[in-house]
Amino acid sequence: MSKSIYEIRDYTIESEWFDAYKTWAKELAAPWLKSNLEVIDFWMDEGEPPEVSGSNPIVSKNGQPNVTWIIKWDSREVREQQFPKTMSSEAWQEIWSKHPNENAYLHLNVRFMEAT
């Protein structure tokens, strides 16, 4: 039996498009994603300065991610089957067509982790 995994999606949205993105995400994207995937939650930057530390802190030239959302999956195999189907669905494509600028994603990072 496979262990559940958590898909952590971090986006850096271009600052000039961030307010429009937030409106789209709050009104359309996040509610739909939460009702069609096991989304743990969907977070967006609200202006608090980040804290960066460590022995070699390097911040991307694109800045810190300003959007994060997490999806729980039964397994990686389930994710690989279901995520593409969900994102290619007619309902999601309708929401995506209202995106303020699909090219405003400066950086996308997807990680897969297990709970400890």
pTM of the model: 0.92
CA–CA separation, 64 vs 52, rounded Å? 9
Query: What is the pLDDT at residue 3?
Result: 87
How far apart, in whole angstroms, are the C-alpha atoms of residue 28 and residue 25? 5
Domain ranges of the chain: 16-46+62-113
Give the pLDDT of residue 1.
55
First-last CA distance in the chain: 17
pLDDT tier at 73, thresholds 50, 70, 90: very high
Tens digits of residue pLDDT in 45-71: 999 999 999 999 998 999 999 999 999
Residue 101 has pLDDT above 90, yes or no: yes
Q: 29 by DSSP, 3-state: which? A: helix
Q: Can you tell me the mean pLDDT for 65-92?
A: 97
